[in-house]
Amino acid sequence: MDIINELMSYRERDIPYSRVLSSMCTVPHPVAVKAHEIFIETNLGDPGIFVGTIELEKKTIEMIGELLNNRNASGYICSGGTEANIQGIRAARNLKKVKDPNIVIPKSAHFSFEKIGDILGVEIRRAALNKDYTVSISDVDRLVDENTVALVGIAGTTELGQVDNIKELGKIAEENGVFLHVDAAFGGLVLPFLSRHIPFDFEIRGVSSITVDPHKMGMATIPAGGILFRDERFLRALEVETPYLTSKYQYTLTGTRPGTGVASTYAVLKHLGYDGMKEMVDGCIRNTRTLVEEMEVLGFEPVVEPLMNVVSFHAKNPEEIKEELYRRKWVISTIRNPKAIRMVIMPHVTEEVIGSFISDFRKIIS
Ligand SMILES: *Cc1c(COP(=O)(O)O)cnc(C)c1O
């Protein structure tokens, strides 16, 4: 038991989620924890052994595909948005063989694309943003050339939760015969449940692949990301031969990989269903509105009116505010352009959490 006590002493030093307004991760749903336990020793890297688990992964992808307007999407549950983005772009690069491949991404793209440029040897071209911080379609158009292997649109930017005009990106993609990857790591499990219809998924013809992370708004256990392709052909472009396993080919980036993400993702979606997920998302949106109202009373204006449960507020001294809050055991984040403090209102950020946060926030600014 000494070891357990030792482990507990480390774990107790972690900051509990109830003080965290900076993270897109959250406390997993209880049914996800249960599912995780049942699948704890599974390895999807060897699907001939884990026959049931691989079947469950197919069903999980089908379920997410249905939510994203393509029941026949192909893909798999991976380690998170970073791996999903790598794999989306890797498929695009493998399919269009050019000497000096480039991809066109918005300036607002997640830092995982930095790694993608490095690993995949593709040039990263960054398109300018409009006043509302969505990508400028004309700048994307300007940057595309014959060596462009993929365009990237974001459905739920990490800093502001904005959604690019995926419809227009789809048009450019179709006109140029180029792959379009949508990074909906965060928004993929928010947008389908909003009352307002914001097109971003496979309903748009030009969309080739989508990243969606169940370990964010899907309340699955970490790690659980998702990469979905419109067509099985794209997944095939990732295959390598696997001589000594139960399968002949492998399209995943990692070899050994857990079935826990599959099981916990499936469990939450199945348990909550569409209505339960919508209720959860509605709650986060409501709490976001409350936070915005309270912050406005204190003189802090949102950079853009939040579309979903991510919001940044203009601030003259974001770093100081962040540090002062950290001293009071609150974690928020900051963005540099424009200077602002950023918060994500995940399911663990309840009305009570917001109340007590605002009360401390008031103290540090007075
Ligand atoms: C969170 C996020 C990622 C990265 O996902 P990880 O699971 O941290 O690897 C990529 N893109 C966007 C838009 C995200 O919100």
Residues 167 and 71 in one domain: yes
Tell me: do 290 and 245 sit in the same domain.
no
Atom of ligand 1 nearest to the CA of 213: 7
Q: Compute the distance from residue 282 Cα to the ligand 1 centre, in Å.
A: 22
**Separation of CA 130 and ligand 1 centre (Å):** 22
66 lies in the same domain as 189: yes
Q: Find the CATH number of the domain harbouring 281.
A: 3.90.1150.10
Residue bearing the CA closest to ligand 1, atom 14: 185
Q: Which of 269, 296, 324 is the last residue of a domain?
A: 269
CATH classification at residue 53: 3.40.640.10
360 is a domain residue: yes
> Whole-model pTM?
0.97
Average pLDDT over the chain reads 97
Q: How far apart are CA 156 and CA 276, in angstroms?
A: 21
> Which of 250, 269, 288 is a domain's end point?
269
HSE-CB for 103 with a 13 A CA cutoff: 31
What pLDDT is stored for residue 329 in this prediction? 96
Q: In the structure encoding, which two tokens stand for residue 41, read together?
A: 């020793």
Ligand 1: atom nearest CA of 223 is 7
Flag whether 56 is in a domain: yes
Ligand 1 mutation pick, 112, 135, 163, max ligand atoms within 8 A of CB: 112
Assigned domain for 345 exists: yes
Does 223 sit behind a cis peptide bond, omega within 30 degrees of 0 on the bond before it? yes
225 lines ligand 1 (CB under 6 A): yes
In a domain, 142, yes or no: yes
pLDDT of the residue at 145: 97
Give per-residue pLDDT as tens, 9-48: 999 999 999 999 999 999 999 999 999 999 999 999 999 9
pLDDT for 181: 98
For the Cβ of 158 lying below 6 angstroms from any atom of ligand 1, the answer is yes
Per the structure, the count of domains in the chain is: 2
Q: Which of 245, 269, 293 is the last residue of a domain?
A: 269
**Ligand 1 pocket residue status of 106, Cβ below 6 Å:** no
CA–CA separation, 78 and 84 (whole Å):
7
45 and 154 both lie in a single domain = yes
pLDDT score for 134: 98
Tell me which residue range forms the domain holding 172.
30-269
Q: Are residues 147 and 263 in the same domain?
A: yes
- Centre of ligand 1 to C-alpha 358, Å, is 27
Residue 231 lies in a domain: yes
Same structural domain, 75 and 212: yes
Are residues 208 and 79 located together in one domain of the fold?
A: yes
Residue nearest to atom 4 of ligand 1 (CA): 81
75 Cβ inside 6 Å of ligand 1: no
Name all contacts of 121-125 with Cβ < 8 Å and 24+ positions apart: 122/89, 122/93, 122/149, 123/147
User: For ligand 1, what atom is nearest to the CA of residue 225?
Assistant: 7
112 lines ligand 1 (CB under 6 A): yes
* Together in a domain, 247 and 280: no
Judge whether 2 lies within some domain: no
**What is the pLDDT, as a whole number, of residue 245?**
76
Is residue 4 domain-resident? Answer: no
62 shares its domain with 150: yes
pLDDT under 70: residue ranges of the chain: none
Residue 244 pLDDT: 77
Residue 3 in domain: no
Query: Quick one: 263 and 293 in the same domain?
Result: no
Same domain, 48 and 146: yes
Which pLDDT does position 5 carry in this prediction?
Answer: 97
Residues 147 and 117 in one domain: yes
Q: Residues 6 or more apart from 321 whose CB is under 8 A from it?
A: 315, 332, 334, 341, 364, 365
Given ligand 1 and candidates 119, 158, 200, 265, which is best to mutate, with the most ligand atoms within 8 Å of its CB? 158
Determine if ligand 1 sits within 6 Å of the CB of residue 154.
yes
